Structure 1
Amino acid sequence: MRQFFFFFTLLCSVASLQAAGPSAGAPSAPVQHPVVGSWTWTLPGKACTENLHYQGNGTRRGSSGEEVTQSRYEVSPMPSLLGFYRLTETVTEGNGKKDCSGDLHEAPGEPVTRFIQFSPKKDQLIVCREESLKACFGPLKRAPQ
């Protein structure tokens, strides 16, 4: 019984140290989200490519057909139990032209939430309207750096 109590106390101590995080003087390595980088997707049967560049500072540049946009984004740090990251983007600037699908998109200032899921190698992703594979597009491929 004493061994169990000792082991339990040791386990709780380690857990509390991990929860406390690094000390004030310890350097912490930045955590880069897998969405950060450049992504491309060409619509099937069309010669039109969508390009998205997510920067680590929470901004995104994009082009699709004639459309060019700048956005702010927030993405969940971890995927849900279904394997999707919640991605909310708010267009801050856009040229108001049509994208590869021929659509005009959201006016600046309107947040749009999508759900993204990565391939196991994190070199491809799909974009979905819900946490489901029913209404998605992609895969977008990570562009070489």
Structure 2
Amino acid sequence: MKAVIQRVREASVSVDGKVVGEIGEGLLVLAGIARDDTEATLRSVASKIVNLRIFEDEEGRMNRSLLEICGQLLVVSQFTLMADCRRGRRPSFTDAAPPEVAAGLFERFVEILREHPCKVETGVFQAMMEVRLNNWGPVTIILDSADLLAPRRGKPEPSEFDKTS
């Protein structure tokens, strides 16, 4: 799963000229569902989103989470986040979950976010949408579940060549 998170003063999503979701201060989340995403993936990304300390405290430091400021979420499905542009000029979307799988996983992701005490609005899955936002900062974070679930990069173990006798 990949998610682009933008801190916003307000945001909305429309389908066919009609607003289907809108929020005040909070986060706009563009979410791409991968072929290999699981419940654990969805929970990990959801937890990271609501707990990221990217809202300012009284000293102007990014020290508060969405939950701490009682912010709102607008979650929009966006399979194009799964684009692989390594070869040629046309992106490949083979890493994206097929629509019939992605729809259920996206809905589950939204359900998990709704377990938290914040307003959660969404777009319409597979619809052509118009997203409007008033960026706040701007603050934009890109999350990739492959990075979240991977072991931390730290100091590597010494190789046998690094050891002294």
Q: TM-score, normalised by structure 2?
A: 0.24
Considering fraction of residues, name the structure with more strand: 1
Q: TM-score, normalised by structure 1?
A: 0.26
Q: Which of 1 and 2 has higher RCO (CA within 8 Å, sep 6+)?
A: 2
Asked which structure has the greater CA Rg, the reply is 1
